[in-house]
Chains A and B, each alone.
Chain A
Amino acid sequence: MAAQAKPVHLGVLIVAVVLVAIGVGAVAVWRIDWLGEHGSGLSDSFKYDLQKYQKIDPALFHYHLVAEMPIDMRDPRAIAIGLGDQILVAGDKAIYVYSPLLPGEGTGTSVSPRPLGEGPGVRAAGPTKAGRAVDSPHPNPLPEGEGTTKTISLDSEPYSLTVGNADHAFPGRIYVGMWDHVETFAPDGSHLATWSKLGILTSVACADKVVFVADAHAKVVWEFNPDGKPLGQIGRRSGSRQGPMFVVPSPYFPIAMGPDGLLRVSNPGAHRVEAFTLDGHLELAWGKPSERIEGFCGCCNPAHLAVLPDGRIVTAEKGIPRVKVYSAEGTFEGVVAGPESLSPNLAAATETREDLRLHPVSVAADSRGRILVLDPVARCVKIFVENQK
């Protein structure tokens, strides 16, 4: 109405203003980043970046990946080497017993499975189909389709595992750390005993006549005889010292028995590996907190330990997933695996799994010095061998 009464140029002006407004509005709408495609727009000081520490100098790698063995489990948690280098993997309320890798370099062709005999309590798991979550260029050392796995069923979820070696009072006896107690099994898989309840068990290790159990709740290492009779503990609060000896902020508190007769205990909150004599005397301690390769990263590491036949220590870290080898005295030697060769999920910035649990890799070493890394996210065992000098 108004436009008609006013001079014509006003009408033109109005049309122009309206068109410009529509144009500007359209551009504004177009530029809205509803979907967050351009990220948060926060400056770098608001970003958490570990890139620098995730890159590892290739010269430091002393091991290389030779094979991957898929584990048909939803949630594999622990790995151990049994008598004659059998491979035991615990998870999904069961223990899978795999036949040893062939002595060869561990390539797919030279490794062949040998079935274990049936025994009481052992049931054949049937052919394991390789339920692989990762596409790997590496061969599977256990050919598909051949039923090589024996399964020991458990009542609840296992968390740790060890097998008595040839020097142990009961060679081949299997000690399984459940959440709060230990179950033992004979080499043939038959159930032996359920030990009394403890705190939160994260690791088991056996010496010749005793078994050590790491308790992350009580923050001590219990010592038992092979039948579950408590003998003592390492790491009690002593005298004037207020705090616990082992700083264990999370259920990652590994121990491992070395051929030198010393028990290696990770003190994750202190970023140290400590060595104890069998009667509980601290013999030596080493390690320092650092994101750099020679240190232990994050707030509580190492998360898993293994000892090589020659006494060197293998450490596995969570956060920045990496497996490294130290001399028995704690000198950093080299890297076995880093974020590139372990499942990328472990290197991811944030925990997004439903059970809110970190899934650090666990490690074991067989009698030939091969390092077996259980990658729970990729659901496979990765086999690393030392580079030829």
Chain B
Amino acid sequence: MSRPCPLSGHRPKVGREKARVRVCRGGPRRRSGTPCLTSAAPSVHNRVRHGVLDLRIAIALLALWTLLSLPALAVERFPPPDFSNHQLPVTTVPPPQFAANPYVDVALLALALALASYLAIRRRSRRGLFLLTIASLVWFGFIRHGCICPVGSIQNVTLAIFDRAYAVPWAVAAFFALPILFTLFFGRTFCASVCPLGAVQELVALWPVKVPAWVDHSLGLLSYVYLGLGVLFSATGTAFLICRYDPFVGFFRLAASANMLIFGACFLVVGAFIGRPYCRYLCPYGALLRLVSRFSKWHVKIPPDECIRCRLCEDVCPYGAIREPTVATAVTERRRGRRRLAVLIGLAPLWIALGFWLGTRLEVPLSELHPTIRLADRIRQEQTGRVQGTIDASDAFRNTGRAPADLYRQALALSAMFRTAGGWFGAWVGLVVAAKLIHLSIRRQRNDYQPDRSGCVSCGRCFWYCPVEQAKQGWIQEVPGTGPLFGENSLPAEQAAGRKMDLSP
């Protein structure tokens, strides 16, 4: 009955459960003089201090534990009756139905990315991008049910890194890597018209308003925090947070809990006024792509040739991604700026250290999401009489006949892991804040109207506003003379608006 431990060959004598924990204890080492677990502290949250824990070992051991809990194959089976004349029916086991063959799936993704890049950079065709957006929405959204998507694949890749037992399916890995690779060369063309989440929001961005810069900048940080959380929880094998709070997948599946649908609908309402709120303020994959896009080889341009600084495109970006030319600053100003930059750079390690420290304080709230820690807390509370009655989870635990001390030990190890992970998460947030501050205080020289490489999703909405483009397309006779026009000549703009109407209202 008892199987040998695959690591040590040790065969548990009394109870498999105990042996498992014996294995798990390899992770954290308790400092001497700390109270014993079995004499348990009043709460699991009164956690015994552990030495620094190798996250990976702990997770690997956790995976091992899951592996060990496979149901034992009982050789001694009670047979069904010997019927005189009756065949036992066969239990039907319909094989998994995937919405698409993974080869087709990945090929289509690559094709869509290539097409989007071509349309955005070579063809500069808003109409083409728009049609592709709809096609992607239909295929990646409604047909494939938006799952699995590159956004969620972050977690699969993270889990594969940290959990030895989990191999990320190659199609999922491709979904993760392809858009990043394309972004490295062409900017966020994935966001423009391949991502189904982006597509929904693109379609509902009806009356976009300008979000004040400070709001935009600070909310923009959220997506990096969310990315950090997503990675933290998938690395610890706790949850796939990003999938859990995907606002639109319910629409794609045409099935979701009422609250999830309300949540998604609210995003759409907000999205009518604030362009792509999920992409800009939450999407963790967007956060990655923003970083990568900064270094892209090519990127959409607003004017096809020379910018004439007509300012016609200034406010047309629904996502607030157009940057105006810089004005020359005084030398003193520049010097002050440089000094401030130096200070900020000097402060960065402090931000990171502070983040790390604060992050380790987050151990309790973060770990509360882990089912094992929740269970251990509950059992502890029930044992100490702080709560009355049992819940399904505690009943299920008792049913296994496992000793609570084992559970506590496991929970403590996990909780130590969360402290370390929380620290790294905090350091990441500190880094993000520091980078943002540094980034804001770097002055770049711009001579024309340009899309901000990280914020721009390559949607192409601004193309038609540019009179240079209009002249190139032959919609107007000639480009007004170079130099600022201050918008007095409203003819091109009206024409542009007229052209625009038939696609994006």
Can you offer 21 A-B residue contacts whose CB atoms are under 8 A?
A: A1-B208, A2-B208, A3-B209, A17-B269, A17-B273, A21-B269, A21-B270, A28-B266, A29-B259, A35-B374, A74-B2, A133-B403, A217-B78, A249-B81, A251-B78, A348-B395, A348-B399, A350-B399, A352-B396, A352-B399, A354-B16
| CB < 8 Å A-B pair total | 104
With A and B bound together, what is the CA distance between A176 and B209 in angstroms? 84
- Contact segment of B67-75, B114-122, B409-417: B67-75
User: Chain A, interface size: which category?
Assistant: 35 or more
Cα(A350)–Cα(B392), bound, Å? 11
- A344-359: CB near B (< 8 Å → 1, else 0) gives 1100111011111100
Instruction: Indicate whether A345 sits within 8 Å of B399 (C-beta atoms), given known contacts A39-B392, A179-B76.
Output: yes
Complex contact B270–A18 (CB within 8 A): yes
The verdict on A261 contacting chain B, using a C-beta distance below 8 Å, is: no
- The reply on B245 being an interface residue by CB < 8 A is yes
Bound CA–CA A63/B155 (angstroms): 59
User: Does B315 belong to the interface (CB within 8 Å)?
Assistant: yes
Determine whether A109 belongs to the interface, using a CB cutoff of 8 Å to chain B.
no
Q: Which residues of B contact A345 (CB under 8 A)?
A: 398-399, 401
B65 lies within 8 A of chain A by Cβ: no
Given the known inter-chain contacts A1-B208, A217-B79, please indicate yes or no for A377 contacting B266, CB distance below 8 A. no
Closest to B270 in A: A21
Question: In whole Å, how far is B35's beta carbon from the nearest beta carbon of chain A?
Answer: 20
Residue ranges of A at the interface with B (Cβ–Cβ < 8 Å): 1-4, 11, 14, 17-18, 21-22, 24-25, 28-29, 31-32, 34-37, 39, 72, 74-75, 131, 133, 157, 179, 200, 216-217, 242, 249-251, 344-345, 348-350, 352-357, 377
Interface residues of B in 75-101 (CB under 8 A from A): 76, 78-79, 81, 84
Q: Smallest CB–CB gap between A347 and chain B, Å? A: 10
Q: Which of B2, B72, B78 contacts A200 (CB 8 A)?
A: B78
Q: A260 CA to B398 CA in the complex, in Å?
A: 42
Band of interface residues on B: 35 or more
Nearest-CB distance from B176 to chain A (Å)? 24
Chain A interface, >50% SS class: loop
> Are A29 and B263 touching (Cβ within 8 A)?
yes
Q: Are B209 and A11 in contact (CB under 8 A)?
A: yes
- Whether B207 is near chain A, meaning CB under 8 Å from some CB there, is yes
**Interface residues of B, Cβ cutoff 8 Å to A:** 1-2, 13-16, 69, 71-72, 74, 76, 78-79, 81, 84, 207-210, 244-245, 257, 259-260, 262-263, 266-267, 269-270, 273-274, 315-316, 374, 391-392, 395-396, 398-401, 403
Minimum CB–CB distance for B472 against chain A, Å: 24
A2 touches B207 (CB 8 A): yes
Decide: B274 and A3 in contact? CB cutoff 8 A.
Answer: no
Complex Cα gap A37–B387 (Å) = 15
A14 to B211, CA, bound (A): 12
A14 touches which one: B14, B207, B398 (CB < 8 A)? B207
B401-A353 in contact (CB<8A):
yes
Ordered nearest first, which 7 A-B pairs have the shortest CB separation? A25-B266, A28-B262, A21-B269, A1-B315, A352-B399, A3-B209, A28-B259
Identity of the chain A residue whose Cβ is nearest the Cβ of B261 in the assembled complex: A28
Task: Name the distance in Å between A320's Cβ and chain B's nearest Cβ.
Answer: 16
In the bound complex, residues from chain A placing their C-beta under 8 Å from that of B259 are 28-29, 31-32
Query: A250 and B316: CB pair below 8 A?
Result: no
